[in-house]
Amino acid sequence: MVAVVSDYDKIGGAPTVREAVDRFYTVVLDTPDLKPYFDGIDMARLKRHMVMLLCSVLGGPEVYEGHDLADAHRGMGITDEHYDKVGDILVTVLRDLGAPEEVVGNVVTVLGQVRGSIVEKPAEAAG
């Protein structure tokens, strides 16, 4: 019998997930057009939710019990452009932490699956 190793285990488990979330929000909050989305947000609480969510996405033992993604993001006016930027930051952080490309690809797949629950409006046309 072959033991199945989760993406969570492949990247190093909880310590790596916590580090990824810390690095992710450091970059996001240093990005001028993303920072306003987080005004007045309890970042410690948000980070805890993101750790649970990422653990769940990666097949770890933590189960995400936060708000439904659509409910949590409703009314924020998140654009396709900003969603892509946040996704790119997460992918970069995971790669910087040594996540295998297979794991990164799985995360990208999930980002695609939940996009419709988070993006509210298309980015403004350039020009």
The residues spanned by each domain of the chain are: 11-117
pLDDT by residue (tens digit) across 6-42? Answer: 999 999 999 999 999 999 999 999 999 999 999 999 9
Pick the closest to residue 44 from 18, 74, 11, 77 (CA basis).
Answer: 18
Q: What does the pLDDT look like over 57-97, one tens digit per residue?
A: 999 987 777 778 888 888 899 999 999 999 999 999 999 99
The CATH T-level fold of domain 11-117 is Globin-like (1.10.490)
What distance in Å separates the CA atoms of residue 115 and residue 69, rounded to the nearest whole number? 10
Rounded-to-integer distance, Cα 127 and Cα 102, Å: 37
Q: Which of 51-60, 84-93, 115-124 bottoms out in mean pLDDT, i.e. has the lowest?
A: 115-124
d(CA 127, CA 91): 29
Residue-level pLDDT at 127: 43
Closest CA to 100 of 4, 2, 9, 3: 9
Distance, CA of 53 to CA of 57 (rounded, Å): 6
